[in-house]
Chains A and B, each alone.
Chain A
Amino acid sequence: MRFGVGLWCLQSTAATPRGHVRAYREYLEDVALADDLGYDSLWLSEHHFYYDGYCPSLLTAAAAALAVTRRLRLGTGMLLGPYQRPERVAAAAAELGHRYGGRLDVGVGLGYRDVEFDGKAVPRRERVPRLLELVHQLEAATGDGSYAVWLGAQTQSGVARAGRLGHPILLSGALPLDVVRTLAGVHHAAWVDGGRRGGTRPRVAALRNLWITDDPAEQAAVLDWQRASYVLYQGLGWTVDEGDAGAALDFTGDAQRAIDTAVATTILGDAEHVIAGLRDVAAAGVDDVVLRIAVEGAPQEAVHELMREFAARVIPVLADLEGSPCDSA
């Protein structure tokens, strides 16, 4: 199991205001620490036209991080594909992948906010063909594999599409583990049904909410941060509108239930508890975990402490997890 950290959104929110210059400066400090500690990857997230300056230009932000790191992979989780001209995205990805030894994971997603489609003058009804055109161009431009193409999807139809195309997926941290298990299975089955494109089973990565602490006060704070980070989703109007998760993750219709469901995914306790929780995640068919720790309200000092603690006490113990249950299938 490989471990990454996420999702960096570079915001200045009503609850946690800061200058954007500071947000980007701290981001470059964060990537340097992740690099030093041996994390596999760090992931960014994209939105547009939101009051908090949510990062709208992921390859620009990723490029800066690649320039100041040596081993860390930078991931876009997700670059919202329909909004940009695909040849430009592919050109930028190829340039960065070539310059930085293939340390780029280009995750692409559909987008879901009407205001973003309208602000970009893109009909929402065209989002799937536009995304597939981008995937096609990214596949063509990667050449000898200068970057990897990931798909973001939280529904059975979405992960099946990724599986058929032979691409790895990154699942949301808000999804309950039983939904993750279902989606991982759908992804694998679609890859098999699609003729095992690429020859190697594409990986399943999942964001997971977790924190190592047995201090009740800190645990309460962590759950507050997680809750606040999902209130953001309520503001954005995110919803999973299909399948098992759909009933529980409607941030527009039943926000309180959705927030409660997402916060309940948090693996929270001492290192042993977190290790046990991650073994459950692996057993659900997840190859790689992205720790969802860059959340609303969490100060940089606390995030850094968690990164150090996790690298020292959890990653070495879980070294036996490389090779997921799906590998034998």
Chain B
Amino acid sequence: MRLGLTLPAGGETKAAITAEARGVAFVHVVAAPGTEAAVAATVVAVTSAVRVLVGLGIGDENPVTLAEDVAVLDNLSNGRVAVLANLGGLSADAAVEDLTLLRASWSGRPVRHTGERWRIPARLPGHRAPDAVHVTPLPAQLAVPLWVTGSAAAAVGTTLGLPVLAGRRGDIDATAPVAPGRAELSGSLDADRDEVSGWADAGATHLVCAGDIDLDDLARWLIPEVAMVAFPRVVADSPLPRPWPRAAG
């Protein structure tokens, strides 16, 4: 199971740099509506390897615009972006429409969409415009990973075949190719070992970790804990080897 870190508000870049250095699989950007892509861009600019899960509010803005924001972010990051679409209180039908348009915008196909909420292109009177648009640039990745959360997430996930971020271990589908979960860590090693192990045992593939997290502890004890069956804790519990005397910091 891969462990990721929810970045602290206001301290995203510093935490992301440390997370990348410690081998955390992905970082999770949570930002206010409208600021998600901008805040995530500050993270991708100061990192080079760690994957960046961007929490993205769905429902207020034209999905074409959101798709463009993510595409720019994905190119800035050399294809390291995944999206956690927060459906908020959108109905399942509304969320399905917005996400369908979002994915169509990343597809490389000409976009023609007519639904209850959006008509793209709008074919408005007086506009001399074609009957489809290509949304450019395309993301760097061949396909942008897209997960969902929110009140209608389960229904939307089923309809569109998208992973749903589970808030409880019991909601993990251990047979799904991607089954992400979200856990609040306490900062207590024993409790957090039990927490991440429990998610791994439930069949989660990715765990978004929030809460009181020391990244050194995460790297030393928790990532190894879920990287093999019956991790021999002695290798993490033993005293650390002496650092190189001339090492910086």
Q: Using Cβ atoms and an 8 Å threshold, which residues of chain B touch A60? A: 37-38, 40-41, 69, 72-73, 76
Known: A63-B41, A92-B34. A121 touches B62 (CB 8 A): yes
B27 shortest CB reach to chain A, Å: 14
Closest residue of chain A to B125 (Cβ to Cβ) is A123
Contact with A67, one of B33, B46, B118 (Cβ below 8 angstroms): B46
Q: Could you list 10 further interchain pairs (A-B, Cβ under 8 angstroms) beyond the known A49-B133, A57-B69?
A: A21-B78, A28-B45, A57-B68, A63-B41, A92-B35, A92-B37, A117-B129, A119-B133, A121-B121, A123-B126
B101 shortest CB reach to chain A, Å: 11
Question: A270 interface residue, CB < 8 Å from B?
Answer: no
Which of B13, B38, B79, B128 gathers most chain A CB within 10 Å? Answer: B38
Q: Using Cβ atoms and an 8 Å threshold, which residues of chain A touch B79? A: 21
Q: Which size class do B's interface residues fall under?
A: 35 or more
Q: Using Cβ atoms and an 8 Å threshold, which residues of chain B touch A54? A: 136
Query: Once the chains are docked, how many angstroms separate the CA of A125 from the CA of B122?
Result: 14
Q: Using Cβ atoms and an 8 Å threshold, which residues of chain A touch B69? A: 57, 60
| B71-120 interface with A by 8 A CB criterion | 71-73, 75-76, 78-79, 111, 118-120
Contact with B136, one of A56, A83, A89, A124 (Cβ below 8 angstroms): A56
Question: A180 interface residue, CB < 8 Å from B?
Answer: no
B62 lies within 8 A of A120 (CB): yes
Known: A50-B136, A67-B13, A88-B61. A123 touches B124 (CB 8 A): yes
Q: Using Cβ atoms and an 8 Å threshold, which residues of chain A touch B140? A: 19-21
Contact digits for B205-220, partner A, Cβ 8 Å, 1 yes 0 no = 0000000000000000
A20 lies within 8 A of B75 (CB): yes
Question: B32 interface residue, CB < 8 Å from A?
Answer: yes
Closest residue of chain B to A120 (Cβ to Cβ) is B62
Query: Once the chains are docked, how many angstroms separate the CA of A12 from the CA of B60?
Result: 31
Question: B127 interface residue, CB < 8 Å from A?
Answer: yes
A83 lies within 8 A of B127 (CB): no
A117 lies within 8 A of B127 (CB): yes
Contact with B124, one of A24, A25, A88, A117 (Cβ below 8 angstroms): A117
Question: A52 interface residue, CB < 8 Å from B?
Answer: yes
| A15-44 interface with B by 8 A CB criterion | 19-21, 23-25, 28
Query: Once the chains are docked, how many angstroms separate the CA of A246 from the CA of B121?
Result: 29
A63 lies within 8 A of B38 (CB): yes
A53 lies within 8 A of B138 (CB): yes
Question: B164 interface residue, CB < 8 Å from A?
Answer: no
| Binding site secondary structure of chain A | helix
Query: Once the chains are docked, how many angstroms separate the CA of A181 from the CA of B45?
Result: 39
Contact digits for A96-118, partner B, Cβ 8 Å, 1 yes 0 no = 10010000000000000011011
Binding site for A on B (CB under 8 A): 10, 13, 31-35, 37-46, 60-62, 64-65, 68-69, 71-73, 75-76, 78-79, 111, 118-124, 126-130, 133-138, 140
10 of the cross-chain contacts (CB-CB < 8 Å) are: A60-B38, A87-B34, A91-B33, A95-B38, A118-B121, A119-B111, A119-B129, A121-B120, A121-B122, A124-B127
Binding site for B on A (CB under 8 A): 10, 12, 19-21, 23-25, 28, 48-57, 59-68, 83-85, 87-92, 95-96, 99, 114-115, 117-125
Query: Once the chains are docked, how many angstroms separate the CA of A53 from the CA of B139?
Result: 10
Q: Using Cβ atoms and an 8 Å threshold, which residues of chain A touch B43? A: 67
B232 shortest CB reach to chain A, Å: 40
B72 lies within 8 A of A57 (CB): yes
A95 lies within 8 A of B39 (CB): yes
B127 lies within 8 A of A49 (CB): no
Q: Using Cβ atoms and an 8 Å threshold, which residues of chain B touch A50? A: 136
Q: Using Cβ atoms and an 8 Å threshold, which residues of chain B touch A55? A: 72, 137
Closest residue of chain A to B130 (Cβ to Cβ) is A115
Contact with B37, one of A57, A90, A114, A118 (Cβ below 8 angstroms): A57
Known: A49-B134, A59-B37, A88-B34. A24 touches B65 (CB 8 A): no
Query: Once the chains are docked, how many angstroms separate the CA of A60 from the CA of B7?
Result: 18
Known: A64-B44, A92-B38, A121-B122. A114 touches B128 (CB 8 A): yes
Q: Using Cβ atoms and an 8 Å threshold, which residues of chain B touch A83? A: 65
Q: Using Cβ atoms and an 8 Å threshold, which residues of chain B touch A96? A: 38
